Amino acid sequence: DQQVKQNSPSLSVQEGRISILNCDYTNSMFDYFLWYKKYPAEGPTFLISISSIKDKNEDGRFTVFLNKSAKHLSLHIVPSQPGDSAVYFCAASAPLDSNSGYALNFGKGTSLLVTP
């Protein structure tokens, strides 16, 4: 049961333009959301996160927006650069039980290609 969904397997954007990556979730208990970037043969690299008490978080060229009522978040990259080409994973976490485990639930990823 996929609780975090990234419905676009791939996205192609021109250099300098905005890249918008989308993510939907089904579990209303999720209270922390993250985006990871992954290059081939490497582990995922943390990019940016947002708590459910916020609706926007910005870090340089990267902004994450959270719409709790729609259970939707998005990652905006402005301006996009060729080096941003990678697979982007959306992840969400919620307290698992009284022992406070915090596993990440990942989407299947969106492959972003930024062309010169």
Among 20, 22, 32, 62, binds another protein (CB under 8 A): 32
Q: How far is the CB of 8 from another protein (least distance, A)?
A: 14
Q: How far is the CB of 91 from another protein (least distance, A)?
A: 8
* C-alpha span between 104 and 39 (Å, rounded): 19
Task: Return the ∠ at Cα 85 (arms to 80 and 90), rounded to 5°.
Answer: 90
Among 10, 28, 54, 101, binds another protein (CB under 8 A): 101
44 is a contact residue toward another protein (CB under 8 A): yes
Strands 110-115 and 10-14: parallel
28 is a contact residue toward another protein (CB under 8 A): no
Task: Return the ∠ at Cα 91 (arms to 47 and 14), rounded to 5°.
Answer: 50
Among 11, 20, 104, 113, binds another protein (CB under 8 A): 104
Query: Taking Cα atoms as reference points, which of 43, 54, 55 lies closest to residue 89?
Result: 43
Binding-site ranges for another protein (CB under 8 A): 2, 4, 32, 34, 36, 41-46, 49, 89, 91, 93, 95-97, 99-109
